[in-house]
Structure 1
Amino acid sequence: MTGLDHQPATGEGTTLPRGPLAGFATGSLGMGVWVTVPGLLLLYFLTDVLAVAPWLAGLALLLPKVADVLLHPWIGHRCDVEQARRGDRRRLLLIGCALPAAFAALFAVPGGLTGAPAAAWVAVAFVAGNLLFAAYQVPYLATPADLRIGYHERTRLMAFRMVVLTLGILVSGLLAPLLAGGDAATRDGYQRMGLLLAVGMLAAMLVGVAGIGRLRRVAAASAPAHEGGWRALGAALRDRQFRWLVAAYLAMSTTTHLVLAGVPYYAEYELGRAGLTTVLVAAFVAPALLVTPAWLAVARRVGKQRALLAAQGAFAAGSLVLAVGRPAGLPLLVGAVAVLGIAFAGMQLLPFSMVPDVIRAGTGVGAGTYTGVWTATEATGAALGPYLYALCLAGGGFVASVAGETVVQPDSALAAVRYGFGLLPAAAMLAAMLLQRRYTLDRTARAGN
């Protein structure tokens, strides 16, 4: 019996069987590819393969996310309407299964396009992908709040999801650079990588849709009442507990995506070899795959919020070690990245299992509206992280290039690569800790299980 299997009867009556849990979690494999590969490679693809200037590359990744701030909550409202009218959120999930096509298009930039035209192509594909991702992610993450389960069972459900999501992050994070060509990545290599991973995404997302249907049958999904449109959004944003949780998660999401975007640069320009990208990704993700049951146990013992604060502190400490750079030695730096991975596991499991606690505390607003705001926050962080790192590079005078071209970066650019990867994440994570301390629902939610 594993840490994910051990679960006493919950206060709301249902212990979820592993089969439907595994089906639900499988949907996160496809989501993990979308979360990981663009965040890991897209900025590098623009600056070092398509010769897009860092400031423009950052904008190409940031501006498509602006629409998400409005559209994610709207999609959340629509998925609440679907729940009330049809008894499920399946139709939006199926629309979201078109995401793999947009993913493939991201890296299928027509031959000959470089600079601003290439950035425009990527930006348009990114807009389409973000909208389709929202159509899948919002109803997917509303599932824990739809089910009649308690405080600890919601954490267990998200722990299953976290393990599979981490597996998707690990596999795609290791395969994507290799499929693109490793140290000799080319435009054709990136296109091949996009197509191959898109096929796997589609299969996993369809399994996830089926798994959600099984969970709803097992756990007697409730049909929450919902307010309309902007009134519902306003009610969610007036929820003090939700506001602090969202603010803290924005800082966390920005930080983790900044680090992800910086990995290829840190590997090539600080450690001296682009191929070390896969080593750093493995060091970051593999520990997260192993320690999720441990975070689940810690949350049972001390509560989700205290466990989350510990994860945030560990992430900040590991980031400071990375700011030292090459003088610290490769083993220590890889170890610091592993600490980030351990912390990352907690920062994925715990906040996502706290959102259903807030929803179940009750404001009369449907789960979709809450998760729409939450996923908009995640999307904003996913844009801000790479953009902040791109600004660091631009401020340091980083020189963009095309695939196969060798350029000598100035010392200021190398310093920007290092400090943007270490000091900036540490500062952002400390801000997340300060915000997270303002959330006070956890003790009440835990006692009411």
Structure 2
Amino acid sequence: MTRLDTRDRTPGTRLPRGPLLGFATGSLGMGVWVTVPGLLLLYFLTDVLAVAPWLAGLTLLAPKVADVLLHPWVGHRCDVQQARRGDRRPLLLVGCLLPVAFAALFAVPGGLTGASAAGWVAVCFVAGNLLFAAYQVPYLATPADLRIGYHERTRLMAFRMVVLTAGILVAGLLAPLLTGGDTATRAGYQRMGLLLGAGTLAAMLAGVAGIGRLRRTAGTSGDGHTPGGWRALAAALRDKQFRWLVAAYLAMSTTTHLVLAGVPYYAEYELGRPTLTTVLVAAFVAPALLVTPGWLAVARRVGKQRALLAAQGAFAAGSLVLAVGRPAGLPALVAAVAVLGVSFAGMQLLPFAMVPDVIRAAGATGAGTYTGVWTATEATGAALGPYAYALCLAAGGFVASAGGQAVAQPGAALTAIRYGFGLLPAALMLAAVLAQRRYTLDGAARAAG
């Protein structure tokens, strides 16, 4: 492919598909880390390692507290590397150690149960989150670095979204099967961690190469001097548009991760068939492979802001159907999950395409710091979602168990499983809509190209 002179790069230029696909490949590995812990870790703790629900929720929440500080710091460090070296590759390569932490997360020694097992998981989770930040922050800073315009940033993130969805779908379908399905065991979880970890490593390394190719092809904006860490962080937090976008995305991230954490419980205890976990995951994730181009077209026609509000409203409506539970019938419930999946595609594409708009509009030199705050928000939502669902289980008196042990759950626990999977997501998404309506930059960003 011919290397383009960055001086000839204009906002209206379309990026070639080769570099776009190379960039997007890194999301395959990221999809594993985003999906599998959110889908299986809470269930792994309560139903395989015999960890009480309140402690299991705390185990997933506490490691994320550090992310609030770590992600902006990682963002600042990658800004420093960008200013000194002209790229962010060193942190990306450090982040490629993530598969080691992923495998260790599910390789809990056989003698550990209860609180001791929770401690092992918490330590591995902290290490994994830090390595994930080292990869994710410079990765997501790439669209703001490039000399491309409003619609091309959306197109770039659409490629990323399709590949990310493929990673989420493959991980979401394979992980429950590799653990042993209805007879999941510690050994099954260890096997799953090793196999998916190997695939994660290959995808992340391919992504590093793809990012380098994309930067050479598109050219970068040449941000120049990078401000100090705390000054850059303060600038990001003072940005009114960014604050409202972050607030809305926190509610969205919390909601989607709550739903992922609740899928195994809803399948087993509400629908009575643990194997339906795979069906529900497929219904939630697979639509994004088909509808992401549609969301891209809608965003081009009405703007990212209006398209995102539509996605949020549809998600809330689908959640209310799930709150009805078994009386609605399995086909209706699967269809409702599919509606959530269509909405999820929009909520993954559009906010991530809006962040570079905010950075460019602010004239900020610290794209990494902005992105670090954004990914800290995503990580916080990833912790709050399962924690909120764990609190629902605890409030309902859910009884934890070891792998292979059958226990009868009280009626209040079954109610909590259903309402926590339906009513709570609807309420959280309403909060996202209210915050998102306060974001007013989209019209100006669209007009600027």
Coarse TM-score class (shorter-chain normalised): over 0.9
- Corresponding position of 2:375: 375
Q: In 2, Cα distance between the equivalents of 1:258 and 1:283?
A: 16
- Corresponding position of 1:390: 390
Amino acid at match of 1:337: V
- Corresponding position of 1:181: 180
Q: How does 1:46-445 map to 2 (within 5 A)?
A: 46-224=45-223, 225-445=225-445
SS in 2 for 1:417: helix
Q: In 1, Cα distance between the equivalents of 2:400 and 2:68?
A: 30
Q: In 1, Cα distance between the equivalents of 2:74 and 2:169?
A: 29
SS in 2 for 1:222: coil
SS in 2 for 1:50: coil
Q: Deviations 1:380-434 (Å, cap 9, x if unpaired)?
A: 0000000000000000000000000000000000000000000000000000000
Matched, 1:447 2:447: yes
Q: Deviations 1:126-180 (Å, cap 9, x if unpaired)?
A: 0000000000000000000000000000000000000000000000000000000
When structure 1 is superposed on structure 2, of 390-399 and 11-20 the one drifting more is 11-20
Matched, 1:25 2:18: no
| Cα contact 2:38–2:260 (8 A) shared by 1 | yes
Shift of 1:288: 1.2
Shift of 1:11: 5.5
Q: Deviations 1:357-387 (Å, cap 9, x if unpaired)?
A: 0001024331100000000000000000000
Q: Deviations 1:97-129 (Å, cap 9, x if unpaired)?
A: 000000000000001210000000000000000
| Cα contact 1:255–1:425 (8 A) shared by 2 | yes
SS in 1 for 2:66: helix
Q: In 2, Cα distance between the equivalents of 1:112 and 1:18?
A: 50
Q: Deviations 1:311-344 (Å, cap 9, x if unpaired)?
A: 0000000000000000000000000000000000
Gaps of 5+ in 1: 1-8
Q: Deviations 1:12-40 (Å, cap 9, x if unpaired)?
A: 24321101110100000000000000000
Shift of 1:73: 0.2
Amino acid at match of 2:109: P
Q: In 2, Cα distance between the equivalents of 1:10 and 1:403?
A: 57
Amino acid at match of 1:434: L
Q: In 2, Cα distance between the equivalents of 1:78 and 1:240?
A: 24
Amino acid at match of 2:161: M
SS in 2 for 1:375: helix
Amino acid at match of 1:338: A
- Structure 1 length as normaliser, TM-score? 0.97
Amino acid at match of 1:131: L
Shift of 1:348: 0.2
SS in 2 for 1:174: helix
Gaps of 5+ in 2: 1-7
Runs of 4+ in 1 over 2 A off after TM superposition: 362-365
Q: Deviations 1:280-322 (Å, cap 9, x if unpaired)?
A: 0011111111100000000000000000000000000000000
| Cα contact 1:325–1:333 (8 A) shared by 2 | yes
Q: In 1, Cα distance between the equivalents of 2:308 and 2:131?
A: 30
| Cα contact 1:21–1:160 (8 A) shared by 2 | yes
Amino acid at match of 1:85: R
Matched, 1:36 2:35: yes
Q: In 1, Cα distance between the equivalents of 2:82 and 2:318?
A: 43
Amino acid at match of 1:214: R
SS in 2 for 1:248: helix
Amino acid at match of 2:95: G
- Corresponding position of 1:6: none
Shift of 1:226: 2.0
Shift of 1:10: 8.9
| Cα contact 1:235–1:363 (8 A) shared by 2 | no
Q: Deviations 1:197-255 (Å, cap 9, x if unpaired)?
A: 00000000000000000010011112213210101100010000000000000000000
RMSD value, Cα: 0.9
